[in-house]
Amino acid sequence: MKISTKGRYALRMLFDLAEHRSEGYIALKDIAERQGISKKYLEQIVPVLNRSDILKTNRGYQGGYMLAKDPSQYTVGEILRLTEGSLAPVFCAECPGDCKRSADCPTFPVWQGLYRVTNEYLDGITLQDILDDHQKRAADNYII
């Protein structure tokens, strides 16, 4: 499985909103600048996130985006499923009933296990976890 640029950038965008949530609505140009992502690319990601009610938006002067909920309520798995679709390594892992061979396939348990472990791992990490880890690493970075 390979996570696309859309998935990685969506996660970075939401991380940025989590990191700057005390500032209110954040302009896309500011996120793009801080994250080193094209504003045009972020404009393509926003509709996907808006459809799922992850973001609050405000138009006009001092408009922008903010998280609709606390960063602890968003998992990496949830975000990646929005942008990537399924996280299944193969079709049959997600829809075993649609595969004629799943009952007799010797490799089916491998794919099913990988799918389970991937989802458990990504659903166990929240935006708040990423933010906390980032702040801890920044605090541990002593430069003399």
Please say if the pLDDT value at position 25 is more than 90.
yes
Task: Give the C-alpha separation, 54 to 126, whole Å.
Answer: 13
Whole-number pLDDT of residue 84: 93
| CATH match of 5-139 with 3.40.50.300 | no
Give me the DSSP letters along 64-79. EEEESS-GGG-BHHHH
Tens digits of per-residue pLDDT, 60-102? Answer: 888 899 999 999 999 999 999 999 998 988 888 887 778 788 7
Question: What pLDDT band is residue 59 in, cutting at 50, 70 and 90?
Answer: confident
Structure token pair of residue 62: 């001092």
Q: In whole angstroms, how far apart are CA 87 and each of 81, 96, 108, 111, 114?
A: 7, 14, 16, 11, 10
- Enter the pTM of the model: 0.87
Alpha helices per DSSP H over the chain: 5-19, 28-35, 39-51, 76-84, 91-94, 108-123, 127-139
Query: Using one digit for the tens of pLDDT, what is the confidence trace for 27-56?
Result: 999 999 999 999 999 999 999 998 888 999
Contacts (Cβ under 8 Å, ≥6 apart) of 62: 24, 25
Q: Where are the domains of the chain?
A: 5-139
Contact 10, 48 (CB under 8 A): yes
| Spatial separation of the C-alpha atoms in residues 65 and 46, rounded to whole Å | 9
**Comparison of pLDDT for 60 and 19, the residue scoring more:** 19
Residue 141 has what pLDDT?
A: 67
Q: What is the pLDDT of residue 64?
A: 93
